[in-house]
A and B are shown apart, each in its own frame.
Chain A
Amino acid sequence: MTNAPSLRHRLAIWIGGGVAAAWLAAALWSLLALSASIDRDFDQGLKAAAERLMPLAMVQIFERDDDGTAQIIAQFDATSTSPRLAYAVQDGSGRVLLASRGYVAETLPPPGTTGWSDDDGLRRYSLTALGGQMTITVLEPLAARRSALWSASLRLLLPVALVLPLCLLLITAVLRRELGAVARLNDQIAQRGRGDLTPLENAGVARELSGVAEAVNALLDRLGQALKAERRFAANAAHELRTPIAAALAQAQRLQQEAADPGDAKRATAIAESLARLARLSEKLLQLSRAEGGAVRATENQDLTPVVRLVIDELSRAKKGDRISLALSGDSVRAAINPDAYAILLRNLVENAQRHGTPGTSITVNVGPDGTLRVGNDADPIDTDTLAKLKEPFQRGPTDSDGSGLGLSIARAIALAAGGQLTLTSPSPGSDRGPNRGFVAEFHPRTDR
């Protein structure tokens, strides 16, 4: 997902690129128009020069003594080395009668030519008078126009070149600001964990995004209802299963007490034991369904202290031979975990220790203020492969006990759903139970929130 292109980058590239391209196209169009306009202005100048020079040149030619040479008229500004305009007046035979300094005879068109002609980088305009006996040609180098166009282009494009990067920066900044709302919405959605189904905050969100937020909220609502229905179902299923088992077990125990015949009493005992096993298994299956059902994480920190005390109290009463030493560090245990799920987790870890620990030894339960659990018991060491398998459903260690094989997998499912982790260690490190002995199950809740 992180490899997918960012919406902000794509928008910046498309909008920035589009603006730049449009700007360049507009500039190009302006330059073309400018070029045509410069050509027209220069041509007009050339033509006007020819029309004004012709009568003056004729007066000059008629009033002088013709010595058969071309009269060269100096420029007004003698220092100019590259005259822009040059002109020449020819008679009918092509002889140059009068010319400006800097004209080149070879560049003149044949005498009698009128109108526009281009040649060798020069723009020329010719006029005839006296029935073609006199021709004036005004010339101008095309380079002058190019230089004018170039300087005009620079003046047009330079601001664009300066403003365009600013414009792109502005687009990026605006996109960053406006798309921040998307990122915030994204964060809000990402924060909704398995237990957190509170609606997204919708205030001040743009219209386009409020639709998304509303859709997500509708989804969260439906999910919440589904979870509630699932919880209700689990509670009802527990009730509906437990009551008839309890009734059958109680009747079997009455039969045990009342049976006069030892054979009947034995059979009643077998029924009672079998029912007790059924009760344990159904309880474990319900716990597993709750653990995987998604109601494990709580939105807020919960006080788990009474839960810990009640579970330990129940388990101490249930198996009187074991001594459970409970150590609560800190005044209270608080974590964002559903108390019922936490109780199931703790119960399974302690039951596992009761079932598989060395009989007659004590079980230590340490509970940290953040909900961290550490349940240790004495046991023969367990190898790493077996430890890894223990967390899978219906896997048992080297034991002949009548456990369901579900306890640790239930504990692991709850630990994972709570965003924490369950670790099993054997032999227990730093144990006072003797070297190379013991088993420790630890739960660490997630601490990032």
Chain B
Amino acid sequence: MRILLVEDDTVLGAAVRDQIDGDGHPVDWVQRLDAADDYLAVARYGLILLDLMLPDGLGVRFLRRIRGAGNATPVIILTALDQISDRIDGLNAGADDYLVKPFDLSELSARVAAVARRYAGNPNPVVRLGDLSIDLAARQVQQDDRPVALTAREWTLFEAFVQQPARLFSRADLEERLYSFDDEVDSNAIEAHISRLRKKLGKGIIQTQRGLGYRLGNP
């Protein structure tokens, strides 16, 4: 799930980006609202992490504006404002959740994962697929009760297929989910990740539709 991080503090922003990136979600990080508008115009995001006080305006106003324009991307507010009324304002403006600074990065990861599940219309964190048991909250896959280790990128890719089992993903779709604008993407990176997933989870786990893309199969 590709994430847009809007945070003007460079030290905090870097830590948040590294954390989310480490969880396997590509992050585009901007420090101003006008830049956030530009990024929103050209890429589809699964989640926006939004600071409330930015150099060129208030996060709540930005949120109201994009909601008013029909953008339903889930938003988690990262706020340094300590008053409950600020949080209520944020939720009323259309935020899905909020974290009050300072927050635990593990808490951030958990909230991001929860939003990702909700967004995919699959709030149930454990999905069964053949002999696979996939815990979306804990980000764990078990095959016949034996854990299978996936890297963060592999997990993000696999999660996309599990959450939308019927969907046909183009290579560009998958690249968008896996990489931010700053990442250097190898032309056959997606193929490489998919081949490793097949090796770990079974040959039929992901089917190739030649010339069109990939979709979830049977392990």
Contact = CB atoms under 8 A, between A and B. Distances in A.
Contacts of A343: 83-84
Highest count of chain A CB atoms <10 Å: which of B88, B101, B102: B102
A275 B100 CA distance: 15
B19 A254 contact: yes
24 contacts: A235-B82, A235-B83, A238-B81, A239-B53, A242-B80, A242-B102, A245-B102, A247-B15, A249-B102, A250-B15, A250-B102, A250-B105, A251-B11, A253-B19, A253-B105, A257-B105, A276-B102, A287-B82, A306-B88, A311-B84, A314-B100, A339-B85, A340-B83, A343-B83
Could you tell me the dominant secondary structure of chain A's interface residues? helix
Contacts of A287: 82
Contacts of B19: 250, 253-254
Could you tell me the dominant secondary structure of chain B's interface residues? helix
B181 interface: no
Give the top 10 A-B pairs by smallest Cβ distance, nearest first.
A250-B15, A246-B101, A246-B102, A343-B84, A247-B12, A247-B11, A242-B80, A340-B83, A249-B102, A238-B82
Contacts of B18: 254
Nearest to B18: A254
B101 A242 contact: yes
B16 interface: yes
A287 B105 CA distance: 24
A336 to B, nearest CB: 16
A244 B88 CA distance: 24
Interface string A207-251: 000000000000000000000000000010011001111111111
Contacts of B9: 243-244, 246-247
Given A250-B102, A250-B103, A306-B88, 4 more contacts: A235-B82, A242-B100, A286-B82, A311-B84
B177 interface: no
A404 to B, nearest CB: 15
B101 A253 contact: no
Nearest to A231: B83
Nearest to B88: A306
Contacts of B81: 235, 238-239
Interface string A256-279: 010000000000000000011001
B88 A307 contact: yes
Contacts of A307: 84, 88
A300 interface: no
A257 B81 CA distance: 27
Interface string B1-31: 0000000010110111011001000000000
B153 interface: no
Interface string A286-310: 1100000000000000000011001
Nearest to A237: B82
B113 to A, nearest CB: 14
Given A245-B101, A245-B102, A246-B103, A251 B15 contact: yes
